[in-house]
Amino acid sequence: MARLPGIDAPEQVVCHVDMDCFYAACERLRDPALDGEPVVVGMGYETGETHGAVATASYEAREHGVESAMSITEALERLPRRAGDGTDTGGPTGVYRPVDMDFYKAVSEDVRSVLSRTAETLRNVSIDEAYLDLGELEWSDAAAFGRSLKHEIESEAGVVASVGIAPDMTTAKLASDTDKPDGLVVVEPDDVRSFLAPIPVAELHGVGPVTASELREMGFETAGDIAAAEASVFADAFGKRGRALHAQARGEDDRTVEPRGDPKSISSESAFAEATADSDRKRAQIETLARDVAERATAKNALYRTIGIKIVEPPFDVHTRSQSLSGPVDDPELVERTAIELLAEFESEHVRKLGVRLSNLSFDAREQATITRWDTGEGEPDLDRRWGRTAGGQARLSRFE
């Protein structure tokens, strides 16, 4: 694989995945009637509220000037809130929805489940953005890989991603931004400089409105203009940040994709081709998923204190159930048995997807808890204590984090 001259870095193929208008996409997933409508997700538009900001605006809402981080007051001036009774206001209106982070995290977990089985090395940047190291993937296969990844994300998580693939992290991110929404851009090593050249300075990473204005006043309109100049010009004007900007414009980024710390959870999910109420099929799938996450936890030397499952009913109703243990364990049989027990609540329900998740992970050398700590003296675990039953006999089933 060719590399740009002057870059002393390992050859790599980096994929940047960015979910398009993620919060708004999640709201459309929950309510398909919102498809094609201007959707604004934020806080402060409710009756009696006077302060708030836009978290996400769909592309339809952006056509009316609504942008992320805009004050909700300004957003409502540009795009009034649609009346609940459908009253015609005589102009364009938008659908405003409050932030529902628990739901967005559940959808994000679906996306990450796809990403984690796609690449050995995954770096999650935020709830809707991640980098993947694609290892030895041939550049001739990059476009096909990107299309397949996008299809899997949309099929299994129900949301659309834009994907950029390039030999470095900076260019991959810029590539994913180039053709939004639903974009796929592959930049091979020999094409990095020509790809970057026409990108406006305001779109470069770390360049805000003030810096962009200063660069334009200095005569630099594009990344190509910056790349053609001496690095000292930008170091003199912006210090260390200026050198980084010059390197970015030239495609010089020697960072490698590395996970941030130990994972907070390990999960595995799988969808049925069609929703099913067949208890045998559901049980078989949950057993397979339980074995998969337990094997991965063992491979990562991870102990876990919480075993959980996810159940997705049509069209996209997400339910989670979990059981917390008295101490960290590495016990594949317990994972499988607990997942099956938790699934029993949904034995007769139609299900489109199942998942198993291990959380409250521990990577230290502490002695793990054993199943004998829950023994009743008759050789079987005490389910009332394991499930945390209340005096009235109701099981306390916690949600995923």
Q: If residue 133 lies in a helix (H) or strand (E), which one and from where to where? A: strand 129-133
How far from the centroid of its chain's Cα atoms is residue 338's Cα? 27
What is each CA distance from 349 to 7, 32, 40, 275, in whole angstroms?
56, 22, 33, 9
Nearest alpha-carbon partner for 303 in 232, 361, 227: 361
So which residues are the catalytic ones?
129
Nearest alpha-carbon partner for 191 in 29, 15, 3, 337: 3
CB within 8 Å of 284: residues ≥ 6 apart: none
Taking CB atoms within 8 Å and a gap of at least 24, the contacts of 334-339 are 334/307, 334/371, 335/290, 335/291, 335/293, 335/294, 335/307, 336/287, 336/290, 336/291, 336/294, 338/307, 339/286, 339/287, 339/289, 339/290, 339/307, 339/309
